[in-house]
Amino acid sequence: MADTKEAKPFDLNALTAHVDANKDAYIKLLGEAINIPSVSSSKEHRSQVIYMVKWMANLLRESGFSAELFELGDETFPDGSKTVLPPVILGHLGKDPNKKTLLIYGHLDVQPAHKEDGWATEPFEMVHKDGRLFGRGASDDKGPVLGWLHAIQAYQALHMELPVNIKCVFEGMEESGSKGLDELLIKQKEFLDDVDYVCISDNYWLGTTKPCVTYGLRGVCYFFIEVQCAAKDLHSGLYGGSVHEAMSDMVYLLNSLVSVDGRIAIPGIMDDVEPLFKNEKLVYSDIEFNIDEYRQMIGCKKLIHEDKVKTLMSRWRYPSLSIHGIEGAFHDPGQKTVIPRKVIGKFSIRIVPDQKPQHIAKQTVEFLDAQWKARNSPNTYKAYMVDGGNHWKAPLDNFNVKAAAKAIKNVYNVEPDFTREGGSIPITLLFQELTGKSVILLPMGAGDDGAHSQNEKIDVRNYIEGTKVFCSYLHEIAQEGK
């Protein structure tokens, strides 16, 4: 890159033209990333996750970054086996004390995927069809991570001075709880000391046509319920009718948690929910969101609320409880007449301001204890919170939000929606706490991308125009005080 004296002035038109001209190269590189099955939940794929992290570190170094790999030690699996955790990339580009410093976070691991799960194509072979790029990780989160790299490279290729210093944190365990990342960042806090802004692109537009800036996330509290009735699995023909079955107890307990209309049955669960501020419902009514399109995209007959405002508020600013599964129960196709000796029920509660994980854990376990006592079963029972992550919300009037909104307007020529999300990215809150600075979510992908689902994709439009937004944002975030 040319030095500061020779650098060309900022020119968004030139940057966007460069991005358009390199579209095919960007798509090809995303295909290479998708071809790496970096599934973090599987120890069989751990070497591929490590390869993916190193692959990205090399790309950063080729673009002038100092990209250091930090090892996190080993991970122990439930069967007692161990495997090494993938390293974390801490990278930086530029150390000009007269510039703001932007921190970018992203992840390089993906959810499991198999064609027999219902994919139309092989999940780890990118398919370009009808303006869409299909493949696991296309939108979550390899496309956005590469979009940042492409934006930086566009400045360099055109000999434009980067308007900010850039730091990045790229990990390979986000889809499996970001094991070891919190401890690393706390230990390496000096890496974050000079950060002025944080931007994360690991989320999605609300719909498929209008971009947004995201300023809030729900937290999540994950629970296990264990019930054991025998020392081994039993034949239902030989033992059915003579034992108190663990599965019956489990169904009773899980069914007691939430009503058919989504109301959480735990007493006091709503007491700490942040009250509505004056005219807050108007914020939701102004957001572009088609309730019929949303229902059709899900493929369900009826939503809990057939009203836009109530649906958005139920997704974003109120808690919800979801039942996820029962470990130990028979789940394969066909028939099996077994009474499982032990089952583990799994559910989670998405929490919102001003709920706290430890208080939610206390309320939830006390409720289940009371339900168990009323059940009067002789079986062994235990309920507990496995993991609890806090919610996050940023003020809408901060400069980071405004810069992102202006960048979107510069590229898409529309004012973005300001949205919250029902999902959780625990690292968001940690970055806010460690830096003391503004954090925002600037999504690249659309609401129908199918992250974590079959046939995940990113639209070519979102990939390319999103890269242009990143180009513009790098400029806009540098304008505070100018």
Q: Is 109 a catalytic residue?
A: yes
Which distant-in-sequence residues (6+ apart) come within 8 Å of 68 by Cβ? 89, 90, 91
Instruction: Say if residue 224 is exposed, middle or buried (CB neighbours under 10 Å; 0-12, 13-18, 19+).
Output: middle
Q: 10-residue block means of pLDDT along the chain (482 residues)? A: 67 98 98 98 94 98 98 88 95 96 98 96 98 98 98 98 98 93 96 97 92 94 97 97 98 97 97 91 89 89 94 95 96 94 98 96 98 98 94 90 97 95 87 94 95 96 98 96 74
User: According to the model, what pLDDT value does residue 3 have?
Assistant: 47
Can you tell me the distance from the alpha carbon of 298 to that of 303, in angstroms, rounded to the nearest whole number?
10
Can you tell me the distance from the alpha carbon of 173 to that of 109, in angstroms, rounded to the nearest whole number?
6
Can you tell me the distance from the alpha carbon of 74 to that of 110, in angstroms, rounded to the nearest whole number?
19
User: According to the model, what pLDDT value does residue 5 have?
Assistant: 56
User: According to the model, what pLDDT value does residue 282 have?
Assistant: 86
Can you tell me the distance from the alpha carbon of 76 to that of 182, in angstroms, rounded to the nearest whole number?
17
Q: Is 415 a catalytic residue?
A: no
**pTM recorded for the entire structure:** 0.86
User: According to the model, what pLDDT value does residue 420 have?
Assistant: 92
Strands 212-217 and 392-393: antiparallel
- Which position among 109, 140, 202, 456 bears the catalytic label? 109
- Which position among 141, 161, 174, 465 bears the catalytic label? 174
User: According to the model, what pLDDT value does residue 271 have?
Assistant: 97
Q: Which amino acid belongs to residue 414?
A: V
Can you tell me the distance from the alpha carbon of 441 to that of 401, in angstroms, rounded to the nearest whole number?
9
Helical axes 460-476 vs 23-34, angle rounded to 10°: 110
Strands 101-107 and 165-171: parallel
User: According to the model, what pLDDT value does residue 246 have?
Assistant: 98
User: According to the model, what pLDDT value does residue 237 have?
Assistant: 97
- Alpha-carbon dihedral angle through residues 89, 150, 471, 461, given to the nearest 10 degrees: -120
Can you tell me the distance from the alpha carbon of 350 to that of 352, in angstroms, rounded to the nearest whole number?
7
